[in-house]
Amino acid sequence: MSAAFAHTPEPPYYAVIFTSQRTETDAGYGDMADRMMQLAVDQPGYLGVESARGADGLGITVSYWRTLEDIAAWKAHTEHLEAQRLGHRQWYAAFELRVAKVESARRKAPG
């Protein structure tokens, strides 16, 4: 399960905290989410992602980035813009997106 943790470097770096409530509309959501995960990995400054969604439909996805400029570039990516548009319109009943600068971190390593 440790593959689900992002292996981020020493701070500082940035986090995009995306908290969302899904609608009951599926319409390609899973495929699009997978595609966005694949695309993000290849973006400049991408450091990793962690994601969890409970049975109640509330999900939190945190992606990690080297700089604010990297985040801005990913937000403006053509395919991602289309995903954002569809997300806003049909997949998310509500969401909150916060951009934050990670200042410190500590962990318990698995095993």
Binding site for a second copy (CB under 8 A): 1-2, 4-6, 8, 11, 15, 17, 19, 21, 50-60, 62, 88, 92-110
Closest approach, Cβ 38 to a second copy, in A, equals 19
Cα(49)–Cα(97) distance, integer angstroms:
14
Quote the least distance from Cβ 44 to a second copy, whole Å.
Answer: 20
- We find the least distance from the C-beta atom of residue 54 to a second copy, in angstroms, to be 5
End-to-end C-alpha distance for the chain, whole angstroms? 11
Of 27 and 72, the one with the shorter C-beta distance to a second copy is: 72
Beta-carbon contacts of 49 under 8 Å, excluding residues fewer than 6 positions away, are 6, 37, 40, 61, 62, 63, 64
